[in-house]
Amino acid sequence: MSLTLSIDGERWRQHLLTTVAQHPGIIPVAKGNGYGFTVARLARRAQWLDEHAAETGARLDVLAIGTYDEVEQAASRYDGDLLVLTPWRPFGPALRLDGRTATRVVHTVSRAADLAQLRERDPGARFVLEQLTSMRRHGMSRRELATAAEALEADSGRSGLRGVAMHLPLNTTSHLGEVSRLINDVVASGLPTRTVFVSHLTHAELAQLATSYPDFTVRPRIGTALWLGDRGALTVTATVLDVHDVERGETFGYRGRTAPKGGHIVVVSGGTAHGIGLEAPTGDQSLKARAATLARGGMDAVGFVRSPFSIDGKQRLFAEPPHMQASLLFVPSGARVPRIGEEIDVRVRFTATCFDRVVID
């Protein structure tokens, strides 16, 4: 009845342990839908990873989460520090933290004004300063970092500064040039820290940085490559809920479409509520839209759009746009028709999918 994520537990756990062992100082990232696993499950797993420090060679003292709204979900399942990736602002949930968990939070500060306000409200606050990168999302320029350094110095060492954070773009050929420039700016700023938090560096890039900046501690924040790094350990399936024969010309679906040829309407679990197929054109059957989709190879000649569901290894077409919790597929005559109750494979974007069940064996 469900859209299910099945995990080969032994294989997944082994991949997690290996990844942590390969990345000293790793800060696992658990945010949003928890990469499909939920933040709660990843927080518990981070605790488990810390308990296996003897195997990985390193304690896991910090877990990164995305927002202040995620603090409670993680805090009750993981004992260490919680680094909030969304920068602190003088409004919203950052100001409503529970007193007991507040002391475990490490804030991200990306503006000089926020640094002053945060420390005024909570003189003991621990934080990282975010540095602006080529992403241009959040962060302080070289000049702003220098200003922050002066403000912290004026406060006679009572600084909760834990390091400088940089968020790097994906898939650039090499980050090393940019990271070197950014680290040089940290040095020039006079900030009293030699710890940088980075994202999206390869293993080789991290090794290179360790050689080039031996006095720096580089801590990689890793989400995808940790939780989703061994896709072979993860299987996503939907359940076949119903099957109906259709003759050419018979109607089906919310919009009363007629079947362009004979075959079967196969109803499977998984719809928009799970994040299924939102990229498919919804109801726009104008000639132009169809031509565009056809040109991308996403639609067959009779106007059906490719779905992420496959049967016997063959990707099947949506008979119409996905419904909230189910989808209608079209299986042409001649192909094997799955039986009701059968599980079929689904290809999903894990960071955008909400599973009904996560099963770890």
Ligand X SMILES: *Cc1c(COP(=O)(O)O)cnc(C)c1O
According to the binding rule CB under 6 A, does residue 180 interact with ligand X? no
Taking CB under 6 A as the criterion, the residue among 199, 239, 269, 353 binding ligand X is 199
Q: Rounded distance, CA 209 to CA 178, Å?
A: 12
Q: Rounded distance, CA 293 to CA 22, Å?
A: 43
Taking CB under 6 A as the criterion, the residue among 85, 259, 299, 326 binding ligand X is 85
Single out the segment in contact with ligand X by CB under 6 A; choices: 15-23, 218-226, 275-283, 296-304: 218-226
| Chain centroid, CA 62 distance in Å | 17
Binding residues for ligand X, rule CB under 6 A, total: 11
User: Interaction with ligand X in 116-155: which residues (CB under 6 A)?
Assistant: none
Q: Rounded distance, CA 40 to CA 46, Å?
A: 10
* Closest CB to ligand X: residue number: 223
Q: Report the nearest approach of ligand X to the CB of residue 178 (Å).
A: 15
Taking CB under 6 A as the criterion, the residue among 45, 104, 111, 167 binding ligand X is 167
According to the binding rule CB under 6 A, does residue 75 interact with ligand X? no
Interacting residues of 214 by C-beta distance below 8 A, sequence separation 6+: none
According to the binding rule CB under 6 A, does residue 221 interact with ligand X? yes
According to the binding rule CB under 6 A, does residue 110 interact with ligand X? no
Per the CB < 8 A criterion, the answer to whether 338 and 344 are in contact is yes
Output the six-digit token pair for 308.
């992420």
- Rounded to 10 degrees, what is the CA torsion of 322, 66, 8, 77? -120
According to the binding rule CB under 6 A, does residue 222 interact with ligand X? yes
181 beta partners: none
Single out the segment in contact with ligand X by CB under 6 A; choices: 44-52, 219-227, 259-267, 301-309: 219-227
Residues composing the chain: 361
Single out the segment in contact with ligand X by CB under 6 A; choices: 49-57, 146-154, 222-230, 341-349: 222-230
Output the six-digit token pair for 76.
């009750």
Residues that bind ligand X (CB under 6 A): 29, 31, 85, 167, 199-200, 221-225
